[in-house]
Amino acid sequence: MFRDRTDAGRQLADLLDDHDVTADVVLGIPRGGLPVARPVADALGVPLDVVVASKISAPNNPELAVGAVASDGSVWRNEELLDRLGVTDEYFERERESEAEAASEKLERYRGTDEPPDLTGKRVLVVDDGLATGATTVAALRQVRAAGAEAVLLGVPVGSPDSVERLRAEADEVLAVETPPHFGSVGQFYDSFEQVSDDEAMGYLED
């Protein structure tokens, strides 16, 4: 479906153009969201910046997200999964604090300050390379909303139909190039989906 993240960004930019979407700033979610966000920001002619969030993993299962937290502390809890797994509030709060600190440190690494960009009164487009569970994306959108954005938009090349629909409750508009009914993982829709390093991701901010 996409050759790589840059190709995905160009296809997303075309979709946004078709829908006459405008924004004052594009925020990529590091790391994989930045190669996608760069061509989108260029096409819109607006600055590219970052919004950072970190998932909160289930006990003994680092791949399973029971929530997520952004660098400012904005949090999302998967209440259904927390109840099903019997995760305690003490565990969640401990992990939330740890992951919020990690997100803040990553924000400082990318921006040179732990202060997020000023989004007051702006139309903000958040971009990632895809939506699987959407956990970190929810936390990122909530941070943007809490920062006083006038409008919160989300653009992704591909996402699971369930996640895309759920994110509509968090954003004013959600646009996805593709929402395949048989969704396994984001990477299955890319010919090349190699991990993006921090240095490479930060390079897209400098373009």
Q: What is the CB-side half-sphere exposure of residue 135 using CA atoms within 13 A?
A: 17
Q: What is the mean pLDDT of each run of 10 residues along the chain (207 residues)?
A: 97 98 97 97 97 96 94 94 96 97 95 93 98 93 97 98 95 97 94 95 88
| Domain identity same for 150 and 193 | yes
The angle formed by the CA atoms of residues 138, 172 and 147, to the nearest 5 degrees, is 60
Q: Count of H helices and E strands in the chain?
A: 7, 8
**Length, in residues, of the chain:** 207
Among 62, 79, 110, the domain-final residue is 110
Residues 6+ apart with CB under 8 A from 124: 23, 24, 25, 26, 27, 144, 149, 151, 152, 153
The sheet that has 123-127: what strands, in order across it? 48-50, 25-28, 123-127, 151-158, 173-178
Among residues 36, 81, 77, 75, the alpha carbon closest in space to that of 53 is found at 75
| Domain identity same for 131 and 170 | yes
Give the pLDDT of residue 21.
97
Burial 26-39 (b: 16+ CB within 10 A, else e): bbbbbbbbbbbbbb
Give the pLDDT of residue 207.
62
| Domain identity same for 85 and 137 | no
Domain, as residue range, for 91: 54-110
The angle formed by the CA atoms of residues 67, 69 and 70, to the nearest 5 degrees, is 150
Which tokens sit at 199?
């240095």
Give the pLDDT of residue 193.
96
The sheet that has 61-70: what strands, in order across it? 53-58, 61-70, 75-77
Number of structural domains in the chain: 2
| Domain identity same for 149 and 173 | yes
| Domain identity same for 120 and 177 | yes
CATH code for position 63 = 3.30.1310
